[in-house]
Structure formats: structure tokens, C-alpha cells
Amino acid sequence: MKTSLVPCVLALALASLPLQGCGDGGNTVAVSGVGTVRVRPDTVRMVVSLRHTAETTREAQLEVAGMVRRALEVLSLAGVEDRNIVTTSLRFSPEYDWGPQGRAFLGQRAEQVLSFSIRDSGDDGAASEIIDRLIGIDGIELTGMQFSVGETAGPNRKARELAYLDALEKAAQFAELSGRRIAGAAVILEEGVSSSQPRPTAARTQPQPMFAAADSEGAAGTALPSGETEITARISVEFRMR
């Protein structure tokens, strides 16, 4: 009787291949971690639009140019540096009024949009003072305001630390459930650090004044509550177990 050698040769070939999944795959646990810190904003960016309508484009632009100069004087007196002031838009266009009889030409409109940023947590009063002075310019419009965190190195570091501790706590629980202990991190992958819009803080036990202190003429300044900004770090960690 003839005996086939094919099964034996195939068995030897398979035995010589490296085993997949028999390394540390069974001795690790992969988890995610999230760390969040809440900080007070230290920077505010504002966008203002200065516009005017006149019979001609030149007349409209001359008026807007004067408004812009006044706005720049206000910002300069407030300590805003030129490098932090940007013209984001300059437009000239006809303006119409739409009525039952159709559209009626009103004139030519000129518009210039300025964006600037200052260091202010909302309670410092710098942004409030700028607004109170800018509203003295007829035809100006505040179109945007956003508080943010300019110095992020410290908060980012703390958020990463909290994210790692969160991942470690999860991994330790899984290791305990499987009768093991964590031996250390094998792989750490940072998914990113992000910041959210300012959020309201917890209610205070003592009521706070709604407006800033009145000036010498008795007028109250503009109140600009800034809340807190959340900075969140997300990571994925693969821990070794023993």
C-alpha cells in the first residue's frame, strides 16, 4: 500500500510558520481616556463693522475712513497693539429699499470690518471700556465676540494627565477582573486636545453685581460675563498586564 507524503509535508510547513496572536496580545488591555479642565478665558476677540451710505461711493468711503480712524484711536488708547488689529473686509455696494413699487435706490454704501483681540478675562474691564467708547461712533456695529484661552500649555498638560489617569483607572479595573495587575503602558496614542465655548460657572453663594461700577458721571459700564472654557484631551492607551 502506498502512503501519501503530502499531509506530513503540509504539517511540517505549518509548524514552521510563526504563531500569530500568541505574543503579548493576550497580556494587554486597550482603553480610552478623557481628561477635562475648566479655565477662565484670558483673551477676547471682537469684530466690528463700520458702514455709511451716501450719494456717491467716495462720500460714503470718506465717512467710513473717518469712523475707522476714530475706532483705531479708541483701540490705541486701550492699549491694543497694531499687530492685533486686522481689516477682514472692505466693501462698496449700492443700497436699495424694497417696497410695493419695487426697489428704490438709496445710495452707495461703504463698509469696513475690523477684527481685534485683547487680553481680558471678562472681569478686567478692558473689553467693557472699549465697547463703551466704540458705541460713541454712529454707524458702528459689533458683529462678533468670542472669549478664548490664549495660554494653553498649562491647561493642555493637566488635561492630558487627567486623561491618562482615567485610562489607567479603567485598565486597572479590567486587570483586576481578569485576576491580573497593570505592569505599565505599552502604547499611548493622543487623539487630540480641544476647547469648547465658554460655559457658565456654578452659581455663587453670594450675589454679584450685574454691572460694573459706575463712572464719575453715574453711567454703568457694559457687563461681559465670560464663564469658563473646557479644555479636553482624549487618548487611547494599551497597557501591559502581568
Please say whether the dihedral angle defined by the alpha carbons of residues 85, 91, 95 and 98, taken in this order, is positive or negative.
negative
Cross-sheet strand order for the sheet of 140-148:
85-99, 102-119, 43-54, 140-148
Q: Where are the domains of the chain?
A: 27-42+149-200+222-242, 43-146
- pLDDT for the residue 167: 98
CB 231 within 8 A of CB 149: yes
Confidence (pLDDT) at 108: 96
Residues in the chain: 242
Decide if pLDDT at 91 tops 60. Answer: yes
pLDDT digit string, tens, across residues 70-85: 999 999 999 999 999 9
- Domain 43-146 fold: Alpha-Beta Plaits (3.30.70)
Question: How far, in Å, CA of 138 to CA of 115, rounded?
Answer: 18
Residue type, 75: L
Contact between 104 and 96 under an 8 Å Cβ cutoff? The reply is yes
Q: Residue 194: is its pLDDT beyond 70?
A: yes
pLDDT at 148 over 60: yes
Q: Do domains 27-42+149-200+222-242 and 43-146 have the same CATH topology?
A: no
CB 229 within 8 A of CB 198: yes
At residue 42, the pLDDT reads 87
Given CATH 3.40.47.10, say whether it is the number of domain 27-42+149-200+222-242: no
pLDDT of 100: 84
- Entry pTM: 0.66
* DSSP code, position 58: H
The answer to whether the beta carbons of residues 143 and 49 sit under 8 Å apart is: yes
pLDDT above 90 (res 25): no
